[in-house]
Amino acid sequence: MRIDIITVVPGLLESPFAHSIMKRAQDKGLLEVHVHNLRDFTPYKHAQVDDYQFGGGAGMVMMPEPLALCIESFQQQRTYDEIIYMTPDGQRFEQKIANRLSMKGNLMIICGHYKGIDERIREHYITMEISIGDYVLSGGELAAAVVVDAVGRLLPGVLNDETSALFDSFQDDLLAPPVYTRPADFRGWKVPDELLSGDPKIVDAWRQDKALERTQQRRPDLLERHD
Ligand code: ADE
């Protein structure tokens, strides 16, 4: 998978993909993340990319021309499955969307800044708008990093234990069960007997039980969707 991220603050995205699982995904050649500075595509003087909004009001808007030129220049090089705009008024990002995006080949992600991007770019180029939650960030960069991380770890071959993403929280509308490691007795606090039983059936039943219990307690809304 190849992901091109367009931003006016490329420095914000210098390190999120340089560590841990995202680094491994790239080292293995399973994921390519390219961060581009929108200012490199502007035809205006002083690398201008934003301007005052028509109708007045505080805050600048990202101009259509640099964005259109940037998007078109990438489209000439390859076909994009989705051109995503990160925005608080987009579709709420969930595991299911991450799953769906992980099956694509080329993604472009546009990070908004200031008051956002000119509406005509949304109408004519953007194919998907994503919000990572009901709060406003200073820009789309951190949100884009969240999407790339959630999608990148799902690419086949990225996680060591291929099955482990299957048991993530949300993967089947259930939260993940509690996990324990050594020692089995820490200051008198014991690991549940079921996990020490060595019987995969007992372990699975316990995990299923705890996942349901935890979901019931913390996110009963998820259970309405759980089959
Ligand atoms: N840009 C600013 N806030 C955002 C959010 N909550 N999700 C996605 N992009 C954003």
Residues 140 and 181 in one domain: no
Q: Please state the ipTM of this predicted complex.
A: 0.98
Q: What is the number of the ligand 1 atom nearest to the C-alpha of 86?
A: 9
Using the mean position of ligand 1's atoms as its centre, give its distance from the Cα of residue 77 in Å: 28
Residues 11 and 93 in one domain: yes
CB-ligand 1 contact for 92 (6 Å cutoff): no
Q: In testing the pocket of ligand 1, which one of 7, 111, 136 has its CB within 8 Å of the most ligand atoms?
A: 136
Q: According to the model, what pLDDT value does residue 153 have?
A: 96
Asked if the structure places residue 158 within a domain, the reply is no
> How confident is the chain (227 residues) per 10-residue block, as mean pLDDT?
98 96 97 98 98 96 98 98 98 97 98 94 98 97 98 94 77 93 98 98 98 97 84
Asked if the structure places residue 160 within a domain, the reply is no
135 known ligand binder: yes
Q: According to the model, what pLDDT value does residue 164 have?
A: 78
Nearest residue (by CA) to ligand 1, atom 7, is 131
Residues 136 and 196 in one domain: no
What span, in angstroms and rounded, lies between the C-alpha atoms of 68 and 111?
Answer: 14
Q: According to the model, what pLDDT value does residue 134 have?
A: 97
CB-ligand 1 contact for 131 (6 Å cutoff): yes
Residues 6+ apart with CB under 8 A from 15: none
Task: Indicate which CATH number applies to the domain containing 205.
Answer: 1.10.1270.20
Task: Indicate which CATH number applies to the domain containing 71.
Answer: 3.40.1280.10
Using the mean position of ligand 1's atoms as its centre, give its distance from the Cα of residue 140 in Å: 5
Q: The domain containing residue 118 runs over which residues?
A: 2-152
Residues 94 and 123 in one domain: yes
Number of domains, the chain: 2
Domain stops at, among 96, 119, 152: 152
Q: According to the model, what pLDDT value does residue 161 have?
A: 72
Residues 145 and 177 in one domain: no
Residues 6 and 44 in one domain: yes
Q: According to the model, what pLDDT value does residue 165 have?
A: 82
CB-ligand 1 contact for 87 (6 Å cutoff): yes
Q: According to the model, what pLDDT value does residue 208 have?
A: 96
Asked if the structure places residue 62 within a domain, the reply is yes
Asked if the structure places residue 126 within a domain, the reply is yes
Asked if the structure places residue 162 within a domain, the reply is no
Asked if the structure places residue 184 within a domain, the reply is yes
